[in-house]
């Protein structure tokens, strides 16, 4: 059964993923920020499609480029904070690379 909070969070994650894709599309192909936004997208998709990430080896993130890891970990923290808050936010902010 999908609760209202879960539906709101899934919608927020889909929006965050789309925003990361759109931001990445604006960047030159070799820009490190592209990797950051790939990490943002991956973190959102990890909760939308956990079955995909369950099949990855435990150390998969260590093999990704540093900007990807930064995007993934920043977004994972953002999502964890949203999930632990009393009210699930309708929109998660798109993180920016440092």
DSSP state of 30: T
Q: Does residue 95 fall inside a structural domain? A: no
**What is the model's pTM?**
0.90
DSSP state of 32: H
Segment 14-61, tens digit of pLDDT:
999 999 999 999 999 999 999 999 999 999 999 999 998 889 999 999
Under a CB-based contact definition with an 8 Å cutoff, are residues 20 and 40 in contact? yes
Q: How many domains does the chain have?
A: 1
Q: Does residue 98 fall inside a structural domain? A: no
The tokens 């990890």 sit on which residue? Answer: 46
Q: Which domain holds residue 45?
A: 4-84
pLDDT of residue 43: 96
Q: Does residue 89 fall inside a structural domain? A: no
In angstroms, rounded to a whole number, what is the distance separating the alpha carbons of residues 48 and 77? 16
pLDDT of residue 3: 59
Q: Which two tokens stand for residue 1?
A: 């059964």
């Amino acid at each position: 059964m999908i609760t209202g909070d879960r539906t709101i969070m899934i919608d927020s994650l889909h929006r965050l993923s789309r925003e990361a894709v759109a931001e990445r599309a604006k960047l030159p192909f070799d820009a490190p920020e592209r990797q950051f936004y790939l990490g943002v997208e991956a973190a959102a998709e990890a909760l939308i499609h956990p079955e995909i990430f369950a099949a990855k080896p435990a150390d998969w993130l260590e093999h990704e480029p540093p900007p990807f890891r930064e995007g993934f970990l920043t977004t994972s923290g953002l999502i964890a904070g949203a999930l632990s808050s009393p009210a699930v936010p309708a929109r998660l902010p798109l993180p920016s690379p440092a």
